[in-house]
Amino acid sequence: MAELMFHGLMPAFPTPLAADGTVDAAALERLVDYQIERGASGLVPLGGTGEALSLTAEARRRVLDVTVATAAGRVPVVAGVLDAGFGGAVDTARLYRDAGADGLMVIPPYYARPGQEGVLAYFRALAPELRLPVILYDNPFRSHVVLAPETIARLEEERLIVGIKASNTDLYHFDRLSRLVSDRFCLLSGQDTLFVEQVLLGARGGVLTSAALLPGYWAEVQRLAEAGDAKAAFARQGRLHALMDALFAEQFPEGVRRAFGMLGLPIGPSLPPVGPLSSAAEARLAAAVAALRADGTLRPA
């Protein structure tokens, strides 16, 4: 099997913020170290979990500078390019490339809502400008663009992308895609709640939000699934259901921020329009975190 450029657990993580909304560099350094020391195979800052679209260009550059410097080559850093169209994507990619990113995670152009040929044309135009390996961010819930497996395979065939964060919850779509791409393609799960299912269908890792909290745990889930022990893999994934339900229940990614605070690594509140959790959601999250701390699954920062 071919050696992959990106594989294993690559957490998508929140951007630590100070009370005034600026990037908290010290907290970001601690967060990067936390994830690497606990088993992350890569890092994905400035995606949806990182609230990239709520940050200024200056703040995003600061996030990349600190993340790259702290990672110090220990794992690759793949930065999220979530711009709706060509000009913004090019500007963002240049910013991240200059900051030392190892790759880019690029969402299709969602405001124009193009067809399959339009997406192909978009990535053909972007490729000469990006000059970094690209992971396609396939998230129809956010982008409202549904890419056919054949389109994604064509993007790989034309060497426009090296992999995908597959956040499409359609497992038949994922199964078809896995049969069309090469063994060099970085097929990555983007769905925390379906990680085992996607690994069994060929995923070679994942860009998961909950993996920011416990990357090593998820790496063991992947190992079990790849070894053919689906029962054990599903059991371990199932132990996180209460946590995942609480993290994604409301006001995402505020739940992830609060969970880190509960582990002793406060990273500040989310930016508008995301607000605080309701008291019920906070209690639900606290109970899930406490249960995982009690059985040793989650350890304090």
Q: Is 231 labeled as catalytic in the residue annotation?
A: no
Does 118 reside within a domain? yes
Does 93 reside within a domain? yes
Q: Is 110 labeled as catalytic in the residue annotation?
A: no
Q: Given strand 134-138, what is the order of strands in its sheet?
A: 8-9, 205-206, 186-189, 163-166, 134-138, 103-106, 78-81
How many of the other CB atoms lie within 10 Å of CB of 172? 10
Does 238 reside within a domain? no
Encode pLDDT of 122-146 as tens digits.
999 999 999 999 999 999 998 989 9
Asked whether residue 115 carries a pLDDT value surpassing 70, the answer given is yes
Does 297 reside within a domain? no
Asked whether residue 1 carries a pLDDT value surpassing 90, the answer given is no
Does 237 reside within a domain? no
Does 67 reside within a domain? yes
Encode pLDDT of 24-41 as tens digits.
999 999 999 999 999 999
Measuring CA to CA, how many Å separate 192 from each of 167, 206, 238, 241? 9, 8, 11, 9
Q: Look up the CATH number of the domain holding residue 73.
A: 3.20.20.70
Give the structural domain span for 41.
8-228
d(CA 166, CA 174): 8
Provide the mean pLDDT of the chain. Answer: 97
Among 34, 96, 122, 165, the active-site one is 165
Number of structural domains in the chain? 1
Among 34, 96, 122, 137, the active-site one is 137
Asked whether residue 2 carries a pLDDT value surpassing 80, the answer given is no
Does 201 reside within a domain? yes
Does 251 reside within a domain? no
Encode pLDDT of 265-293 as tens digits.
999 999 999 999 999 999 999 999 999 99
